[in-house]
Structure 1
Amino acid sequence: MADRVDAWREKLSQIHAPVDLVCRPDFDFRAWQRVVQLGSALVWPSAWSPQTIRRTPRLIRRSDPEMIHLSLITKGTVGFRMGAPDALYGPYEFRTNDSSRPWEIVLGPHEGAVEAVSVDVPRARLPLSSHEVDRVIGHRMTRRDGVGALLTAFLTTLVDNPRSYTTADAPRLETVLVDLLAAVFANALDAMDSLPAESRRRTLTLRIQAYIRDQLHDPDLTPATVAAAHHISTSYLHRLFQDHETTVSGWIRRLRLERARELLADPARSDVPVHLVAVRAGFEHHPVFTRAFRAAYGMSPRDYRRRALLQGADEPAAG
């Protein structure tokens, strides 16, 4: 086990920053990590057996990449100490630290495995002052609503669907990640106005897109209702979508068609009538849905379902 621990310590030190690692002798050492490189930022899902990780003043003097770290804990509990009273974090809480300050992380203090999705971003990439960042690091932040929920959704979608993105997508994804991380920090400080205007604009667009996805089932979802829900004018909403090379109505229609296509191809929903699929996707009138679906996919919804279910039945079973 000592060789595995040494190898893991070296890996963490090379990818992130030099650390000390102390493993529980009563647990078999296990650790797993996958790194997604987004420009200068890293996103890395991981799983750990109970162990302690320390960043000491000696290790900081040895090397300091000046990275800001955020972990979204998805399983287990994590104890944390960084100059303040000890804190304990549970599933779907955000925990932060800074490579420039000493800290200690106790993974699985209650003897359970820990899983997390983590982010490392250079401090210089965040569009906030160093003083503002320092005020946030180490403090508990919510992920349940607003920008916290957006960051959670971004991270979980990214690591759950790695094949959906290519190397060419990395710069765009890095911008989204930095915007959301900065917005979570600024929101914790009640200082959203301190973010650059372009960052606030991109974050608002992400919030609007998430809102639209959540409300697709509502047939009354229109640019006017979306704008009203976000306290902006309809004309400003249209300006936000100019970079997406589509109108707001066109984006809503495309998402509804994609949702309908997913429902039609789902074997578990094969008994749901096509007209109810249309309703669940947000189409109030079945003929309008059928015309739009045929224009988008070259066949009727009924034919698409038949083909998708036949193709699924022909695939070999896993295992």
Structure 2
Amino acid sequence: MQQDAEVASGVLVVRASGAAAARAALTGSPSTPQSVQLLMRCPVHRSVPGNTHVFGDCSLHVLPVGTIMLTVPEAKLSTGFTDLRRLMFQPVEVGEGLRTAFSSAVGHVLAARDVLDPVGVAHHLVGLAEMVLRSALRDELERADIATGHRRAALEHIRAHLGDPSLTPGEVAKALNISLRRLYQVFEGEPNVAERIKMLRIDRAKALLADPAKADRGVGEISRDCGFVSATHFSRAFRALVGQPPTDYRRHALPR
């Protein structure tokens, strides 16, 4: 779990309070936490003491590293905990406008903490948490939709150019007009772009090797059709992924 002192500038960290709630969030069990914590870098006037300020059933914890932890009851949030799991226990990038709104609201509450009604402030803090969470969740969903579109476009481009030996992750990124770093992020959690290109080339090679209509074509010719620069490179890659040389695969795949 990310520690309080490690909350980077420009990100939001959402946590559930208590060890049981943390396990529930990570394992996907139906349990919900008693409270939800929002951590974000927020400039606070030096006159505000660095400790916990309680307002009814909500609190603002001022950390010495410039981070504010807002804790609100989960039951008072209209955003379900199932939806919030997308944000839990990971740094979520938030825009400058949202950071400014959060910082301003927290700053005003802390500056006037001694004269404000605690119950009224609690309602205000729940609304603030709701605004931040809904905005961050919307942005995450939009980023996910964009990533899905980039992934689909990347796979379409790769399949359309498998026979081109110059097909590389850099060429794919250029064709999609995105950075190479962004392209690798799109495929995060699965085989990377270079591996995906190789896997799709091997899949095409398997289909060609098993096609009776292509039985008169040599392995070298098929390897070139799949974008491999040499038959040796093709055989090595094929054996690594399939577990046998392409000639053996063809012998067993073709109908007798």
> TM-score interval w.r.t. the shorter chain?
0.3 to 0.5
TM-score of the superposed pair, with normalisation by structure 1: 0.35
TM-score of the superposed pair, with normalisation by structure 2: 0.44
Higher strand share: 1
Higher helix share: 2
Q: Which has the larger radius of gyration?
A: 2
